[in-house]
Every structure is written in C-alpha cells, then in structure tokens.
Structure 1
Amino acid sequence: MDKEDVVFSPVSEEYLATDFPGHIFAGMFCIIYSLWESTKSILKHLLKKKKYTYGFGSKTLFYRLEILQGIVILSLAATGIIVSLTLSGGHHLPLYEENHWNKLKDWHHVTVYLFIGMIGVAHILCFTISSVPVSLIKLMVSTAFFVETFIFHNHTHSRVLLDIFMHQLVGLISFLNGLVAFIDFLIQDNVLLELLRSSFTLLQGSWFFQIAYVLFPPKGSPIWDLMDYENSRFLTVCFCWHFALTYIIIGANYAFISWLIKFRSKKPCSSEVGLLKNTEHEQELEEM
C-alpha cells in the first residue's frame, strides 16, 4: 500500500508511547513457538511414517527437547510479564489506588503471559514426572488460547475503530487456535490439526507485527487514521494475505524437513560404514 493511499491523522504521543515493543515481543514469541511446534510435528509424523531412526528418532532426544521447550516458554512468559509491567510507563502496583484501577490494559497482557507460562510448566512436568499425562500440554494450550480470547474480547473498550478491529481479529485467531487445540487434545496425534494450530499461532504472531506498525508506528513512520473505514477495509484484505503466508511458510517447512530426512536416510550411519569396512576387509583376507 503506497503512502499516499493511507489516510493519516494526528495521534497523541501518549497513545503511541510504548506499546510498539510489547506487540513486537508478542509477535516474535508466537512466530518462534509456531515454527518450533510445526517442525516438531512434521519430524514426528515423517519419522513415524517412514520408520527412520537416523538420530532424529530418539525418544530420549525428544523428551529433552520437550523439557527445554518448557523452560524456554516459561522464561519468555516471565519476560513478557516484565515487559508488560515495565515498558508501558508508570508504576503498575498497587493494582487499585486513588479510587481507580491502575493500568488494567497492561494487566490483561500479564494475565495472558501467565497462562502461557503454565504451558511451559506443563511441558516440564509431563516429561519429568511419569505419572502426569502428556495430553495435559494440549489441554493447557487450549486453555491459554481461550483465556486470551476472553481477555481480548474485553480489551478494547472505549478505543478507536482500527484498534478495536485489529484486536478483534486477534481474539478470533485465539478462539480458533483454542478450539483446534482442544480437538487435538481429544483426538491425539493428528498432524493436520497440529499444523493447523501452528498456522494459527504463526498468523497471530505476524498480525501482532501488523498491529505494532499500524497502531503504534515508530517515530518517523507514517501514522494511520485510526477512524478511517478505508483503512479498515484494506486491513481486512491484509489479514487474509497474512493467513495465506502462514500456509506458505508451514508448507515450505514441511517440504524442507521432508527433503532433509530423505537426504539423511540415503547417507549410511557410522555403524553401517564400520560394517561395510569390516565386510570389505574380510573379503580381502579371503582373496589372499
């Protein structure tokens, strides 16, 4: 979209202040998480389907990766909470003072990150305590996205048109993500559902980037008219482009991992190489 096609209007510096880094961080978190989850789902599916065991298929390796993933998720969630409580300006405690609630918008973000952190805790528990069912992870993922849907449904009261519209789309993605995660929890081991969930998470991440640059543009960037319906119509189309891009990225990831496994399967492992060398040596001895 060309700059001359965008309708601009002045927006207060207070409104633009510090929400840009918060949305960029949330977007990066969703993108990294979705790519990791999709890669893991594709690997498990292809290894199980083709019965490859070339290093990738070790259960111990997958268990360690799951625990590592839980630690990373928990750390990023804690970082998100710190970012929400420190980069938005002003103090956030106490929660209620001088007859009014204190920065509830940021506490919405803290609540979302709290439930994301619970996903990390579930990862750690499920792969360190044998009595905890692994399906707990998918249940917590579903719960986290449903909580995010509820939070974002009540996140945009008394805000401007474009702000409400873009956050409503985040709520829609969160609901679909939670629904797919819950169906995946009931069905189990369905690679299409897992990849669909990853695509929704990737969509949410890319859309957070879009929100950051539209609602909270960096200094020097053009400011969008947040009350213009034409901009809203354009962002409707833009949202669909984001969705199409997620399918392209997930598809490319599937194709790359599939090629990588096939390429690795054609190369003999070290034990096979040793066996071949021993066989050749025995044949040489027999010919002597």
Structure 2
Amino acid sequence: MGQFSAVSFRGKFSKKLTAMANFKGHALPGSFFLLFGLWWSVKYSFKYLSQKLNRKCHRNRCYQHLDVIEGAAKVIFALIGMLAEQFVPDGPHMHLYSSQENSWVKLANWQHTTMYLFYGISGVVDVLSYSPLKVPLGLDRLMLSVAVFVEGFLFYYHVLHRPMLDQHIHSLLLVAIFGGAFSILLEVFLRDNVTLELFRASLTILQGTWFWQIGFVLYPPWGGPDWDEKDHGNIMFITMCFFWHYAAALLIMAINYTLTYWYVWGLAEVQQTSGVGCMMLYIMAHSTKSQLI
C-alpha cells in the first residue's frame, strides 16, 4: 500500500510538473505577443496622430530610432524563447535525434524554437533596415509576414491528430496568425497604412491573450477538473470565447488610441502656447529696440 501511494504521488507530481511546463510554454509566447501588440497599438496611434499635426520629427528620426530598438527587442525576446525551449529541465538540450532510442527528441520544443528563430531573423532585418547596407524598402515587413506565416504553418502540424478540443482551440489561434500574416504582407505594398498597422496590433494582442487561454484550458496551472475533450458544448464555448478575446483586444485598442489622442492633443496645445509666448517675447523685444533707437 505504501509503495502504491509513493508511486501514485510520484505520478501526480510528474504530471503537475509537465502541466506547468506546458502552461509556461504557452504563457511565454503569449506574453511576448501581448507586449508587442500593446506597444504597436500605442506606437502607430501616436505616429498617425502626430502626422496629423505635421510634426516632422516624429515622422523621421524619432521613429527610426524606435524601429531599431524594436528590432533589437525582437531579437532578444527570440533568443530568450529559443533558450527557454531548449534548456528547460525536460527540454531537448540541442539534441534533435536520439540514436539510442531511434526517435526524434522533443519535436514540439524544436518547433517552438523554429518559430522564435524566424522572429529573431525578422528583428535582425528591422535593425539592418536602418543601417548603411541599404536594405530594400519593405523587406522588414516581408520578413515579419514570413515569420508569422511560419508560426502558423508550424502550429497547424503541431496539433494534428490531437484530441478535438486541443485541435479546435489551436485552430482558432491560426485565424489570428494567418490573418496577421496576410495583413503584414499587405503592408509591404501599402507602407505606413495606419489601418493595417492597427489591425496587425489587434491580432497580435489577440494572439497573446489566446495563448494564455490555451494554457489555462489545456494545462491549468493550479489543477482542477480537466475539460471534456469530446463535449460539443465546450467547443461552442471556446469559439465564442475567442471572439470575446478579440472584442477585448479592440477595446484595448480603442482605449490606447483615445489616451494617445489626449496626450498628443495636450502636447500640441503646450507647443502652440509656447509658440505664441515666444512670438510675443519677440515682438516686445523688437518694439523695445525700436524705442531705444
């Protein structure tokens, strides 16, 4: 009896560790996508509203520096993701094939590593776009579109032959992924189109929150009853929940746009007031000089 209890305890403990690892595997990319989506929602709103006020500084040098920093951040996040996938305790540790067992080693981790790799390449192209190498215009958007497409293609085969609920919840993620890939591809030809840029931001936020949702549904970090994989009601709820997530993403976009508008409008008012003040000082100084003469 004691031996059975010990075995049972070890089994539950091992299962918990696996669940936590799988949950973290979804939470990590979810956090990355959520951060980038939120950043893009503010960045492109600010850029568009600033252009409306004809502030050339923000259209040129300022945004070039931001794009370089963004590309570098993308590379850093990709490296963190690749290292995490490879060197977690139960990761492949850079072993792709086991000759002893004649089998592949942790292909799911390798697929995630490949996904991060292409996002890292996209970040490198972002940085090179503002280097003396004269990278063709639009190549940064093209590589980002390729990275998102690779992510979707990998995920399509990542969940093949899995239980119905697992397949469905990941297939909904593919809607956001391939939608984002197509939208970014359009940006190659329609450069600086704020509608496409904000649409990309909304789908990226959706990706981020949905990755977290997948983790909570399939690998609940605090335990609890498992979802019935064959219950059609669960499929219907998950589908509805997906669009709730997108509604929340659109609400976040609207809030960020409104806050950015207030900030830019307030900044413009301050600059306008400063400009009027400088003009008054100039007139007063010129008038005083004339009187002295």
Contact 2:92-2:109 within 8 A present in 1 as well:
no
Query: Which amino acid in 1 is paired with 2:121?
Result: M
SS in 2 for 1:268: helix
Equivalent residue for 2:92?
Answer: 91
SS in 1 for 2:136: coil
Deviations 1:11-46 (A, max 9, x none): 954652411112111111111111222222222222
Give identity over the alignment, percent: 33
Mapping of residues 156-235 of structure 1, within 5 Å: 156-235=159-238
SS in 2 for 1:267: helix
SS in 2 for 1:223: coil
CA distance in 2, matches of 1:50, 1:108: 45
Mapping of residues 45-56 of structure 1, within 5 Å: 45-53=48-56
Equivalent residue for 2:252?
Answer: 249
Number of residue pairs the alignment of both structures matches: 277
Contact 1:141-1:181 within 8 A present in 2 as well:
yes
Query: Which amino acid in 2 is paired with 1:86?
Result: F
Give the counterpart of 1:153 among 152, 156, 169.
156
CA distance in 2, matches of 1:191, 1:126: 20
CA RMSD of aligned residues (A): 2.4
Moved more, 77-86 or 216-225: 216-225
SS in 2 for 1:189: coil
Contact 1:125-1:132 within 8 A present in 2 as well:
yes
Equivalent residue for 1:81?
Answer: 82
* Change in 2 beyond 3 A, CA 1:276/1:19: farther
Shift in Å at residue 281 of structure 1?
A: 4.6
* Change in 2 beyond 3 A, CA 1:116/1:90: closer
User: Unpaired runs of 5+ in structure 2?
Assistant: 1-11
TM-score scaled to structure 1, two decimals? 0.87
TM-score scaled to structure 2, two decimals? 0.86
Shift in Å at residue 258 of structure 1?
A: 1.5
Shift in Å at residue 157 of structure 1?
A: 2.7
Equivalent residue for 1:277?
Answer: 281
Contact 2:26-2:215 within 8 A present in 1 as well:
yes
CA distance in 1, matches of 2:256, 2:39: 10
* Change in 2 beyond 3 A, CA 1:128/1:193: same
Deviations 1:37-60 (A, max 9, x none): 22222222222233135xx62622
Mapping of residues 9-158 of structure 1, within 5 Å: 12-13=15-16, 16-53=19-56, 57=58, 59-87=60-88, 89-97=90-98, 98-129=101-132, 131-158=134-161
CA distance in 2, matches of 1:89, 1:158: 23
Deviations 1:229-287 (A, max 9, x none): 22221111100101111111112211111121111101137676555434445556767
Moved more, 215-224 or 267-276: 267-276
CA distance in 2, matches of 1:249, 1:36: 11
